[in-house]
Amino acid sequence: MEVILAKSAGFCFGVKRAVDKVYEQIEGASGHPIYTYGPIIHNEEVVKDLEKRGVSVIRDEQQLRSLDQGTIIIRSHGVSKQIYQIIEKSNLSCVDATCPFVKRIHKIVERESRLGRPIIVIGNQGHPEVEGITGWAEGPVMVAESETEAEVIANNLSGFGCIVSQTTFNYNKFKDLVEIFKKKGYNGNVVNTICNATEERQIEAGRIATEVDAMIVIGDRHSSNTCKLFEICSKKCADTYFIQTLEDLHMELPITTALIGITAGASTPNNIIEEVQNYVRINF
Ligand code: SF4
């Protein structure tokens, strides 16, 4: 079978960097405990593999405060300033794998709020990246996820503010929400901090799905970016399959199938993508 594998399939730069840092720590650990603040990526397979290698996931601040030795790794989503302060006061050593694109938002938020500007984060309420970002504000900070929320915030906003976005937020929705602020008279800063890794992956997946007879999307069922890829590909190619690993692949393809496309979500490891790709090439 001929296969087109999306170049942007799998880990983005920030996630790859974070996962690599965890494996580097495992290599040099020699019995020393390793923790990640939240799962390093949204992929059950990877998290299970790391657990087997002695990496435990810390879920919240309280658990973090209870640790007295070892290394804590901050994932690509980043964390609030308070989490760094807790780590500094503890005996833990810290490996900071915050994606530099997220780090940039932390710096903007800290700087702008120090200037007395209210911060508006356009992003998903409760998302760890958004919680981390809001935790760098030294003054008022609000999150707008929907048009209604944007309207409420805009109605109560006074003075020159600063709008930033979650890195994985949809660009068109970001533009729409900013427009709401502007219509209400907002004339403060607007910094588009959306990372284009997600958009590039989506555009490429959609393009490949229009060219092939069947499409395979690999990723965790709980990963929202993988679900989005599946949705995009299904619209362009009726034979689109969503799998987590090779074991889920049960394709019943028409005899005329000649070309299969493969893409994968941002938290899908390379070895799973390779395995699926090789299997499809040889067995179909
Ligand atoms: Fe960094 Fe972009 Fe990946 Fe987020 S999606 S971790 S900002 S590279």
The verdict on residue 16 lying in a domain is: no
> Same domain, yes or no, for 41 and 107?
no
Q: What is the pLDDT of residues 97-113, one digit of tens each?
A: 999 999 999 999 999 99
Q: Binning pLDDT at 50, 70 and 90, where does residue 150 land?
A: very high
**Gap from CA of 101 to ligand 1 centroid (Å):** 7
Q: Which one is catalytic: 44, 51, 129, 204?
A: 129
> Same domain, yes or no, for 154 and 227?
no
The verdict on residue 240 lying in a domain is: yes
> Same domain, yes or no, for 200 and 266?
yes
The dihedrals phi and psi of 102, each to the nearest 5 degrees, come to: -75, -40
Q: What is the pLDDT of residues 227-258, one digit of tens each?
A: 989 999 999 999 999 999 999 998 888 888 99
**Where is the domain boundary, 43, 64, 98?**
98
**Distance spanning both ends of the chain, measured CA to CA:** 5
**Residue 157 is part of a domain; what is its CATH number?**
3.40.1010.20
**Where is the domain boundary, 82, 98, 114?**
98
| Atom 8 (ligand 1) nearest CA | 14
**Gap from CA of 254 to ligand 1 centroid (Å):** 38
| Rounded Cα distance, 67 and 54, in Å | 15
pLDDT of residue 64: 97
> Same domain, yes or no, for 76 and 135?
no
Q: Nearest-CA neighbor of 97 among 43, 30, 37?
A: 37
How confident is the model over 107-128, as a mean pLDDT? 96
pLDDT of residue 252: 85
The string over 209-223, giving b where at least 16 C-beta atoms fall within 10 Å of a residue's C-beta and e elsewhere, is beebbbbbbbbbeeb
Q: Given the CA of residue 168, which atom of ligand 1 is nearest to it?
A: 5
**Residue 71 is part of a domain; what is its CATH number?**
3.40.50.11270
| Atom 1 (ligand 1) nearest CA | 14
| β-sheet bridge partners, residue 216 | 241, 262
The verdict on residue 72 lying in a domain is: yes
> Same domain, yes or no, for 80 and 135?
no
How confident is the model over 150-161, as a mean pLDDT? 93
* pTM, to two decimals: 0.87
How confident is the model over 211-231, as a mean pLDDT? 91
CB contact at 8 A, 128 and 59? no
- Per the annotation, the verdict on 2 as an active-site residue is no
Helices assigned H by DSSP within the chain: 13-28, 44-52, 61-65, 81-89, 100-114, 128-134, 147-156, 171-183, 196-211, 224-236, 270-283
Mean confidence (pLDDT) of the chain: 94
| Rounded Cα distance, 244 and 221, in Å | 7
The verdict on residue 84 lying in a domain is: yes
List the domain range (segments joined by +) for residue 64. Answer: 21-98
Number of domains in the chain: 3
| Rounded Cα distance, 153 and 147, in Å | 10
pLDDT of residue 225: 85
Q: List, chain by chain if needed, residues with CB within 6 Å of any ligand 1 atom.
A: 12-15, 76, 99, 101-102, 167-168, 195, 197-198
Q: What is the pLDDT of residues 29-83, one digit of tens each?
A: 878 899 999 999 887 878 999 999 999 999 999 999 999 899 999 999 999 999 9
**Gap from CA of 40 to ligand 1 centroid (Å):** 13
* 198 has a pLDDT exceeding 90: no
> Same domain, yes or no, for 153 and 184?
yes
The verdict on residue 15 lying in a domain is: no
> Same domain, yes or no, for 157 and 228?
no
> Which residue in the block uniquely carries the two structure tokens 């067995």?
283
**Where is the domain boundary, 146, 163, 190?**
190
> Same domain, yes or no, for 183 and 106?
yes
Q: Which of 19, 41, 79, 102 to mutate to test the pocket of ligand 1 (most atoms within 8 A of CB)?
A: 102
> Same domain, yes or no, for 40 and 90?
yes
